[in-house]
Structure 1
Amino acid sequence: MPYFWFVVICLIWGSSFVLMKRATLCLSPIGVGAGRAIGGTLVLALIFLFMKQKRTIRREDFLPLVAVVILGFVWPHSLQPEMVARHGGAFVGMTVGFTPLLTILVSIPILGLWPTKRQTIGVIGALACMLLLLMDLGKQSIPLTDILLTFSVPLTYSVANGIIRRSLKHLPPLELTLLCLASAGAVMLPLSLVVGNHREADPNQFALALASVAILGVVGTGIATFLFNRMVQQQGPLFAAMTTNLVPVGAFMWGHSDGERISTMQVAALVGILAMVTFVQVGAARPAALELSSAEQ
């Protein structure tokens, strides 16, 4: 089952960028992030109540949880829609693919984990492919500040994954995800009202924007993040983070269908990334991971 959920997460998140693009037609980037968090909170709260789970969070979990909320939710969910609106989903989706490499780097100081030879070869190979993408993107005249801001997202994702593995592993994935999304929504919603939208909204696209945020919240943020946090806890941050190597594939496909520039070099690089993911992931999953217990069914 871990490979099945791995593919499901890749498909969902690969489609998230085109939804962000549609949502920012009428909503501010922070508003999109707030909508995602609130939508995810509602669906997971219903699941939490239906499953009648007990709260297990402890007082000492507060600081690690705050760090995960800021680094893994508030910052990326506010920044990504802005970058998508400026430069398209293919560019932003590509940068997310750096998460596994950064996860290896941050896992050394945070978790004391050193990568295996196979993991190192696979991730370095994926990095080489991603550098080909960067070379091609350099021809598109994207400002350096926007590139650095966008690349900060995989870094904060990697740190958040490491914190979850180190300090929040005892929390059930459903409770952890619900707490993170509810906290992120509580932070971003007031910010969205203060910051406002600096773009002119298209009233004809309002229904499409709301529908996009709803799908992002329920499916792309609530359900997919719950599955991802479960994978981080049970398979480890590197196995889970490798999903982000496949996210660019979906982002590029949607970007191509939306008229964004897709070059031959970009396609070749993505094929190489797929090969590296296969190399690292085949046989890497733990047999018991992501299996639902009888209490959860």
Structure 2
Amino acid sequence: MQSDVPPLKAWLLLGLLALIWGSSFLLIKKGLLGFSPDQLAAIRIASAGFFLLPFILRRFKTVRAHHWPKLISVGLVGSFIPAFLFAFAQTQLPSGVTGVLNTFTPLATLIIGVLIFKQTARSQQWIGVVIGLVGTVLLVTASANGDLEFNRFGLLIIAATICYGLNLNLIKHHIPDLGALTITGVSLFLVAPPALLYLLFATPFAEQVTVADNWFPLAAILVLGIVGTSLALIIFNTVVKMTDTTFTSSVTYLIPIVALILGILDGEPFYLQHGFGMAAILGGVWIANRRKKQPFNTQR
């Protein structure tokens, strides 16, 4: 029987998880210094999928025929498409702002659950969604002079959070009989080969990787895929087993703080409007999930 008080190890792992996922956006930024957005996304997916393979080999036997189409959908919607959306968005968005916008995922999950999967929602949850939307508008229109200047690349991040929200609902409603590591590991492996083939045969990756200046960006992307996706998943599931999803979901509130701090340290601007936007989104997520036994989790 689990104790009501999470052990110290759980807190340390939660902090490590926040650091890993919070730094993912800065790693994307560094990866783009040497590779195009589509190359970055392909490297990220391929490295994550193949790295997880040894951990999931035994789990393939639990996958039945009716699971495969669903797992392919999870791989595409939950990993493949968002990886490309984030990469292209960060060509025009600061990493810190991207990290905060990603926090819209729990609200997107709620909206999709109600509109598509016919879940019920309390008025309190809709209030949280509205507040979160206000914060999102503030973030995608922030400028140095305080005027509203719409940055359409912010919509790519919102599209990615919608993908995550759809993915979480698909897993919850259509694949309840498989474990989280099996679902994520197998689905990532299914989309890893297409990503690798695209990288090798549709982009000049082979020529670029021989350039010394590109080795650091490549290392950043590999860390993003292997540590930021694969190892983070293992840590996440470890914390869930040690505590519960309520405790683990608190990483949602830590990720944007880490992302913003790292962005500022890397020389990114931070406007007052960014602070208001972050506060609104985090406040909206907190209100929407308050008193819920199992809040939705944020993916990377």
**Partner Cα distance (1:189, 1:225) in 2:** 21
Is the contact between residue 9 and residue 243 of structure 1 (CA under 8 Å) also seen in structure 2? yes
> Are the counterparts in 2 of residues 97 and 130 from structure 1 also a CA contact under 8 Å?
no
Q: Structure 1 residues 241 and 190 mapped into 2: Cα distance closer, same or farther (>3 Å)?
A: farther
Q: Which moved more, 1:239-248 or 1:205-214?
A: 239-248
Pick from 45, 64, 72 the counterpart of residue 66 of structure 1: 72
TM-score, normalised by the number of residues in structure 1: 0.77
Residue 175 of structure 1 aligns to which amino acid in structure 2? Answer: T
Q: Distance in 2 between matches of 1:281 and 1:101?
A: 9
Deviations 1:56-90 (A, max 9, x none): 11111122222211111111112212221333313
In the TM superposition, 1:85-124 aligns within 5 A as 85-124=91-130
CA-CA distance at 1:24 after TM superposition = 1.8
Report the Cα distance in structure 2 between the residues aligned to 1:215 and 1:91, rounded to whole angstroms: 21
Percent identity reads: 26
Higher deviation after alignment, 18-27 or 186-195: 186-195
Look up the SS of the partner of 2:63 in the other structure: coil
Q: What does residue 76 of structure 1 align with?
A: 82
Residues 1:159 and 2:170 are matched in the alignment: no
Q: TM-score, normalised by structure 2?
A: 0.76
Q: How does 1:216-295 map to 2 (within 5 A)?
A: 216-225=224-233, 244=252, 246-279=254-287, 284-285=292-293
Aligned-residue offset at 1:118: 4.3
* 1:124-163 superposed Cα distances (whole Å, 9 cap, x missing partner): 333333332233159585653x343332111111111110
The residue number in structure 2 matching 1:178 is: 185
CA RMSD of aligned residues (A): 3.7
- Structure 2: distance between partners of 1:54 and 1:189: 21
Q: Which amino acid aligns with 1:14?
A: G
Task: Give the SS at the match of 1:136.
Answer: coil
Q: Hey, what's the Cα distance between the residues in 1 that align with 2:254 and 2:137? A: 15
Structure 1 counterpart of 2:40: 32
- 1:166-225 CA deviation, whole Å, 9 max, x = no partner? 111211222211112112211212222344269x96945423222212221222111324
Do the aligned partners of 1:102 and 1:158 also contact (CA within 8 Å) in 2? yes
Question: Which amino acid is the alignment partner of residue 269 of structure 1?
Answer: G
SS in 2 for 1:15: helix
Gaps of 5+ in 2: 1-5, 295-300
Call closer, same or farther: CA 1:187–1:181 in 2, change over 3 Å: same
Q: What displacement does 1:19 show?
A: 0.5
Aligned to 2:220: 212
**Structure 1 residue matching 2:178: 3-state secondary structure:** coil
Q: How much has 1:239 moved relative to structure 2?
A: 9.4
Counterpart of 1:18 in structure 2: which amino acid? Answer: L
| CA positional deviation for 1:25 | 1.7
| Structure 1 counterpart of 2:131 | 125
What secondary structure sits across from 2:270 in the alignment?
A: coil
Q: In the alignment, does 2:200 pair up with 1:187?
A: no
Q: Which amino acid aligns with 1:96?
A: N
